[in-house]
Amino acid sequence: MPEPNIKQVGIVNVQFGNNVTVVQPTNLYGCTVGCDVFIGPFIEIQKDVIIGDRTRIQSHTFICELVTVGNDCFIGHGVMFINDLFAKGGPARGDKRFWKTTTIGDNVSIGSNATILPVSICNNVVIGAGAVVVKDIVTPGIYAGNPAKFMRTCDV
């Protein structure tokens, strides 16, 4: 019986700020993590991702390349970030020319199991659990649904 090619990543080539907590198991590689950040278990944060200060990332979240998360953010359980929109009719298969960026502003909370496509989200936004964000969000407030839509203003 053939043996699989097993790769262990763990924590490799990460720039950490002060007072960061990482709960294992987790895969972090080539990313930058600010000060006072909490990273829960079963998380993957890929290279060239930037995580701002005082951000909390809950378990089972995937943050792909080309994502920047601001300061004082909360990312719930099972949140998925997407950088490949299948512009060629399928996966870009590592052809980064087809990948897009995502920027999350400061003081943004993203509910569990939300999916964030390549977008820009302004400061002071709440994304509801299970929401699918497919367009830029330029007005602070609460957004929910698939696709995510503005629900109301809030004091975040």
| pLDDT per residue as tens digits for the range 95-144 | 888 889 999 999 999 999 999 999 999 999 999 999 999 999 999 999 99
For the chain, the domains span 11-152
108: nearest Cα among 30, 27, 52: 52
**pTM, two decimal places:** 0.93
On whether the CB atoms of residues 25 and 42 are closer than 8 A, the answer is: yes
The encoded tokens of residue 35 equal 């000060």
Buried b / exposed e over 118-133, threshold 16 CB at 10 Å, is bbebbebbbbbebbbb
The percent of residues above 90 in pLDDT, for the chain, comes to: 84
Tell whether domain 11-152 is in CATH 2.160.10.10.
Answer: yes
